[in-house]
Structure 1
């Protein structure tokens, strides 16, 4: 399954972005996924990626669209977030240190912890692409209760 969503760069659309992702996945995978656990993980990674585009790449310019692409093969998810910003040089990224108590800079760290693979490509046809990939685990087997 492949689908995409073009949406304004505005945090008021965050719930729509989350629902789009989760509804598409639930429609395809049904009850074969432990949704309470997996939806929280996927939602947090997507919220981090989308809000970074809105606040940093597009600098609160809602007229600039964000393109989200979702591909699902079996239980493997690939989610691309495309923006029109100047891009971010990952070579300059320093992971935050807990003792520094800094406010920002945790997004890359969070996404890498939540997803199996995080890839960022600068200026592909005038846009930047953040690609998040993960594989959804099989739900635990239900134990039959014997009376």
Structure 2
């Protein structure tokens, strides 16, 4: 069992304008830890995009009926072999597997973010936790696993 090497936590309100703050916080974490471990710029770019997608989904969809003061919590957990991003929201439960994959060349309203996330990360899970929050888990494995 690998133990976590580094972790960080951020709590923000449900406001799209805070995306910059979220991404800057993530970039600081990358600069501090991931680049030194040999993670590539392109891996970090993909993770930043996945984080942005997860955060904006939480604001736009999970929290659309809730006040902007409703918090979104983000955890970064860096293990020796992977990075986990956990985005916690307080919206209604939702089953991403119920979204139909867009057909190539067709237009579909919604659902794209979910497929983008799956392409950017190695593993994506969205689960309801016992405390009534939802957790979007985004996992990317380090270099030695590819």
TM over 0.5: yes
- Measured on the aligned residues, the alpha-carbon RMSD in Å equals 1.7
How do residues 6-45 of structure 1 correspond to structure 2 at under 5 angstroms? Answer: 6-31=11-36, 32-35=38-41, 37-45=42-50
Report the CA distance between 1:102 and its aligned residue.
Answer: 2.0
When normalised by structure 2's length, the TM-score is 0.85
When normalised by structure 1's length, the TM-score is 0.85
2:8 aligned with 1:3: yes
Report the CA distance between 1:107 and its aligned residue.
Answer: 1.2
| 1:6-55 CA distance string (max 9 Å, x none) | 001111010111111121122023442322x1222011111111000000
Count of aligned positions: 137
Larger radius of gyration: 1
Quote the Cα distance in structure 2 between the aligned partners of 1:122 and 1:70.
19
Q: Does structure 1 retain, via aligned residues, the 8 Å contact 2:128–2:135?
A: yes
Alignment gaps of 5+ in structure 2: 1-5
Q: Does structure 1 retain, via aligned residues, the 8 Å contact 2:30–2:44?
A: no
Quote the Cα distance in structure 1 between the aligned partners of 2:116 and 2:94.
17
Alignment match of 1:63 (pick from 59, 63, 69): 69
Alignment match of 1:77 (pick from 78, 83, 86): 83
| 1:60-104 CA distance string (max 9 Å, x none) | 732000000010012410110000000212342111112321242
2:95 aligned with 1:53: no
